[in-house]
Structure 1
Amino acid sequence: MSFLLLCFVSLTFCKAFQDLKSSQEISLESSTPSVKAPIINGDTARLEGYIKGYDSSLEFTTGIIYVEDVMEHASFPVVVKVFPDGRFEGKWPLLFPSYTSMKMGNHWIPIYMEPGKTLTMILDKEDFEEGAKRRDSQYQFKHTQFKGPLAQVNSQLQGYKFEQFNYNRLEDQVKSYTPVEFKERQMTLHQKQMERAKAYIDGNDIDPKAASIINNEILTKNAIVLFDFEARRRYLAERDTSASLQNNEVLSKPVSENYYDFLQEMPLDDKALMVSDEFSTFVNRFEFSQPFTSNNPTFHIPLRQPDKDLLLDFLDQKGIELSEMDRKLITISLEDEKTKEDSLFLQAHEDSLQLFAQKHGPILKEFFKRSMKDQQPSKLAYYKAYWSNRDSVLVHQLGLKDSWTYEVTKIRNLEFALDFIGPEEAGEYWESLKAGLNYEELQRKGQEIYDKVVLERESQPYAIEGEGAEIFKEIIAPFKGKVLFVDFWATTCGPCVYTIKKMKGTREQYKNKGDIAFIFITDIKGSPEKKYQVFIDDQELEHSYKLSVDEHNMLRQLFKFNGIPRYVVIDREGKVYDDDFAMHNFNAELPRILAANPSEEGVKTGD
């Protein structure tokens, strides 16, 4: 590859790859529903209640629930507000019934919710104190009461204690057991858990909804363990080069295709499986399991040298005045076979070539983009082959039929695929994919995703509104008229710390330009005081704010993010310009952002 092309590549980042109403009762029977039955419709779910004995000693004023749309592969946090008298309440849009958990203080409390219904809970301060004493975030509360139409299901779920796999022992088991041995042990434990669940269900007149959830929780947990064993085994075999592992006979044993036959016993065509708290993890492990990923087609872009005469003509057409030295540098740089003298000449003038690439970056980008486009294989053909391969693996290797769960994986992948393929061929891809979907709900969801990604690609800045808005507005008030890059981070977050360190030079570059500001927001739990102070001093974070956990929860809900780092761009008017900014593309994106947010004086994007 020519030095000039390398210069261009180094300057360019590759960017790849409601309130709905329904009065219909949603069936959660374990029998397979009709293929065409549109039983998933959204509405608002409401949680309310109070904590007996609540006072400031509990040190929390909010709870938080992570709401997932597993079909769209998306999630967002919902804050449950706790009032001074101990009352609490929260509401959120919910597409389908969900068995999930609320985190309040340091404790996880399981709850079952349905769209259009209200769950009332009575909690007790004693349980929070006992859980804290035991240092057990999963401590099963003893005094919880449920009221309302969902009370019976929640009470019955609370009465059943699920067994958890000890992941601390997984790596030792990977090194000690062959896949056949581990699976045999795990399936024996699984069978005992299913028998215990059956005894609980049969002996306590359990509601069919609760029974379905209990069974599906056990099924999905078991599948996740088996997937994780294989994945960890593969990781160690491929990446750990220590002699002890390289000579480990257990790791040399292959995984047979029938290792995955546990999937044949799962109700993959039952939409009720999606209600399980573990479904999101299960479907992730399923779609990225070895039988599928090992059969993915390759997408290889062969980079050929651009034609030097075409480039010189292109630069002439653009009115770029080239000196004789410029022409010589371009010509030699793009030669397929270089002499020793050519290489020495390029080394001697490396700075000049780099300067030329920086000065004419946008025009070179346009030329190389055109040149490389002709070399690219069809992205549409790649994704058609991708699903053709997976369809074959599903039937011929896994021995499974098409199902609700398998088609959910196609919708979960849709947004990424559309973005990768591009708007020109996105419509053809979606129509091809939609033709193979047997569920009306998935067709509707896919159409929503297509409309969002392709038809509504250019989003407009929006005002900051909702609970938590005042907290955020107070933070950004001193920076009125500036373009703000807001970083939600923590000292305990490795990627957060890495990016902040990497951006130190960039922050320094724009420190005195007046038009841009970098703001950092964390919370007291994620950033312990001593490490926090040392880090912000070392990184010279001028505008850093450390909030309480409750305040931080409100901002997570406001911007709908669960994980960090999360980057948000605020325009000069105080509106949200981008609520999920790719900070690694800062240098490439800044000119576009500033062009969309001009100021009277303007700002230079680099010296």
Structure 2
Amino acid sequence: MKHATLVLAFFVLFVLVAIAQKRTIVNPTYEVKNSGIDNVAKIELTDTATLLSMHITFVPHWWVTYDSADVIRDCATGSEYKVKELRGGVFNKYIWMPDSGDSTIVLVFPPLPASVKKIDYNKQIFGISLDRTATGTRKPAVVSPSINKWIQEQLSKAPKATLENYELPTFFNDKQSRLIGCIKGYDPRLGFSTGIIYVANELTREDYPVVIKIEPDGRFEAEIPMNMPKYTHAIFNERYGIPFYIEPGQTLCMILDWDEFLTANRKANIRYPFKNIEYRGALASLNKELLTYPTSQFSYEVFDKKRKTMAPLDFKADQLKGYDNNMTQYSEYVKQHSLSQKAKTLLCNRIMLENANILFNYAMDRNYYAKQDSTNKMLKIPVPVSYYDFLKQLPLNDPSLLVCNEFSEFINRFEYNELFMKTQAQFYASQNAPQLKPEKNFLEYLDEEKIQITPEGRKFLSIVVKEHPTDDERKQLEQMREVSKNINEKYKELLFKYSQKYVLPLAQSNNIKREIEIWKLKDCTLNNEMGLEPNMIYEIAKVRSLNFSFKNAASKENASALWNFLKQGIKTPYLTTTGQELLSKAFPEKQVASKPLPQSAYADVFRKIIDPFKGKVLFIDFWATTCGPCVGGIKEMKATRAKYVNNPDFDFIFITDQKSSPEKDYNNFVKEQEMKNTYRLSTDDFNMLRQLFKFNGIPRYVVIDQKGDVLNDKFEMWNFETELGKILPAYNK
């Protein structure tokens, strides 16, 4: 009996010690997280380890990884504890998700001091409670009274009247709009404090990235330059697009829920359709109508297979069958739901434009894929002209087409469609393309400039400048390769100056004449092959060509000749006004040497970078390690940077962002290229600079003068040596 009592006492003591040494928290609460994939299902705290059981929910047959550098962090002290073991997987190796899309692993960390009350897991899950009594379901986030009051104040200042329809007299309107709202459940620890709206002027090809500034309490706002109504997206956390419709001069409010962002994170295999959005303001009901319409997911894999296995007319018939089904679904939906006329118009337009884009994309890439797969007979079947008769079904004079997000792709495919491109190619291949003949050849230019040249050099050039050299002269040129090399090296700068004086102006004037002839041929193609009358979409294509054409026109006289021809076929007043403004912008009456940076938070980010270099001209390079052209440009300029290193007059500055330039790749490349003055900004700060200089794509080059003003915000770095002499005459060779 005594022995049994001792055994029982020992067992009780053992259990009490075990309980004291092990504490388990099931479904611990947390404050905020930016991963919808990882969920801490259980935490076990012992004297020897801290175990986090992670329940993973993700796309079936996709993978996740865990890093040997993962940590948990004491929220109070910031002390970090690095992971020691991964159970259920291998560090830095793929863990494939099963059919269910659910899996569990255990991360083993060092033991935590008893004083730790809350921990963070990496920079993914914040404020995980170690209190066993604090488990349970999190309460849904709500809009705070202060934010509600702010929203009401902002909306009270906005116009109450919206567009009645999309007819031309009121459709185009140059007024700024505002997007406001809040993200319920937002926390600055999520790692982003900006969103972005890709605002594009479809009439001019100009991009206006607009930053959405997010305050610590989750409220956000953005001011959007507009010239027409748009149905577009606001991008948050670099990944998630939230749809919204807005009109010039209006203010729209969106209330978003961070939990839905986490759902989108889990469903990364699709373009997640956000539905839990509350709109407020005069355009709220129309936004809700557009949001709730059921849409299907486009499958690129299915499209790609059809493109490579179906003949053009078979693909078209198949696509039009799907289009008819979508239109039938739309008609049934309209019968069952009370929709505004504007909603009906936009929903119908989106279906039509998506269908047209798919048909265009099939035809557009066939030559590329045919070269990749020369044995594929389907890809060798030419696309007949009749393939494009789907364009006849589109309302090409209806401005409402421009509202839809799909229009951006449509207008690009329309202006570069196969029939137009063939017309252009045939023109250049024909004898109608005028040949260049400068007023003076290079040899005559050297004599004009009284440049001494060797007899061998003179003989070589006298043959080179001939339009029709004899066979014997061609043989002589082959034997004079060393002379050719010496001339190219010795007279490099003179060749450039000759080109600038005699060749380039002639080429640019000739380019305008060619463009006019090509547009005449396109007019015929539009009417005779495509069976279309002149229309507003075709007018837009003409206006969209102007920026590039004016840039290469050299003189206002040349540019005006082109514009005077094109505007004869433009009947939409706003487009005529836009074209005239582009001409005035390209050739201003008064040249402005530089312009000061605006007084804004965006400019302040930039000033912090450039202020230490005051007194120097700065060549700013916006780049990324993940951008091929950026990397190539920096490599090409390495010798030039070395040539001018430590010079007192100008300097190079390189700006990238953390997401586009991973730290390891960034450090290695900077070292390899011997780059100085490099800045790797947060995505938020980089977004601000994108808005400041209005760029989406990189590389982008900007020149800042000695006072810190903007000298050129679209600098051509490839022509650095020549442009340097124009900016700093002392370097003019």
What does residue 578 of structure 1 align with?
712
**From 392, 397, 421, the counterpart of 1:269:** 397
TM-score for both structures, normalised by structure 2: 0.72
What does residue 545 of structure 1 align with?
679
What does residue 72 of structure 2 align with?
none
What does residue 278 of structure 1 align with?
406
What does residue 477 of structure 1 align with?
611
After superposition, the C-alpha distances for 1:443-475 in whole angstroms (9 at most, x for unaligned) are 111111111113358443111113311111111
CA distance in 2, matches of 1:195, 1:290: 30
- How many Å apart are 1:331 and its aligned residue? 4.4
Residues 57-456 of structure 1 correspond to what in structure 2 (within 5 A)?
A: 57-105=189-237, 106-135=239-268, 138-237=271-370, 239-240=371-372, 245-296=373-424, 297-298=427-428, 300=433, 302=435, 314-322=445-453, 327=458, 330-331=461-462, 334=465, 336-337=469-470, 342-343=476-477, 346-350=480-484, 352-358=486-492, 360-361=494-495, 363-365=497-499, 369-370=501-502, 378-423=510-555, 424-456=557-589
CA distance in 2, matches of 1:490, 1:312: 45
CA distance in 2, matches of 1:529, 1:399: 55
Q: State the one-letter code of the partner of 1:586.
A: F
Residues 55/311 of structure 1: CA separation in 2 closer, same or farther (3 Å cut): closer
Q: State the one-letter code of the partner of 2:192.
A: F
CA distance in 2, matches of 1:247, 1:397: 30
- How many Å apart are 1:554 and its aligned residue? 0.5
Residues 350/257 of structure 1: CA separation in 2 closer, same or farther (3 Å cut): closer
Which SS does the other structure have where 1:294 is aligned? helix
Q: State the one-letter code of the partner of 1:252.
A: K
- How many Å apart are 1:202 and its aligned residue? 2.6
CA distance in 1, matches of 2:443, 2:374: 54
Q: State the one-letter code of the partner of 1:413.
A: S
CA distance in 2, matches of 1:373, 1:45: 43
Residues 95/312 of structure 1: CA separation in 2 closer, same or farther (3 Å cut): closer
Whether the 8 Å CA contact 2:438–2:502 is kept in 1: the answer is: no
What does residue 527 of structure 1 align with?
661
CA distance in 2, matches of 1:457, 1:394: 39
Whether the 8 Å CA contact 1:119–1:146 is kept in 2: the answer is: yes
- From the two aligned structures, give the one with the greater strand fraction: 2
Q: Which stretches in structure 2 are left out of the alignment for 5+ residues?
A: 1-157
CA distance in 2, matches of 1:72, 1:22: 28
After superposition, the C-alpha distances for 1:473-520 in whole angstroms (9 at most, x for unaligned) are 111122111111111111111111111111111111111323221111
After superposition, the C-alpha distances for 1:153-194 in whole angstroms (9 at most, x for unaligned) are 111111123323222343322221001111111111111112
Q: Which stretches in structure 1 are left out of the alignment for 5+ residues?
A: 1-20, 596-601
Larger mean CA deviation between 61-70 and 326-335 belongs to 326-335
Larger mean CA deviation between 190-199 and 422-431 belongs to 422-431
Residues 384/149 of structure 1: CA separation in 2 closer, same or farther (3 Å cut): same
- How many Å apart are 1:314 and its aligned residue? 4.3
CA distance in 1, matches of 2:447, 2:384: 61
CA distance in 2, matches of 1:447, 1:84: 44
Which SS does the other structure have where 1:507 is aligned? helix
Whether the 8 Å CA contact 1:64–1:80 is kept in 2: the answer is: yes
Whether the 8 Å CA contact 2:621–2:700 is kept in 1: the answer is: yes
Larger mean CA deviation between 313-322 and 71-80 belongs to 313-322
Whether the 8 Å CA contact 2:434–2:510 is kept in 1: the answer is: no
Residues 313/270 of structure 1: CA separation in 2 closer, same or farther (3 Å cut): closer
Whether the 8 Å CA contact 1:109–1:138 is kept in 2: the answer is: no
Which SS does the other structure have where 1:43 is aligned? coil
Structure possessing the higher relative contact order (Cα contacts under 8 Å, 6 or more residues apart): 1
- How many Å apart are 1:425 and its aligned residue? 2.6
- How many Å apart are 1:253 and its aligned residue? 2.2
CA distance in 2, matches of 1:340, 1:386: 35
Which SS does the other structure have where 1:65 is aligned? strand
- Give aligned pairs, total: 565
CA distance in 2, matches of 1:419, 1:376: 10
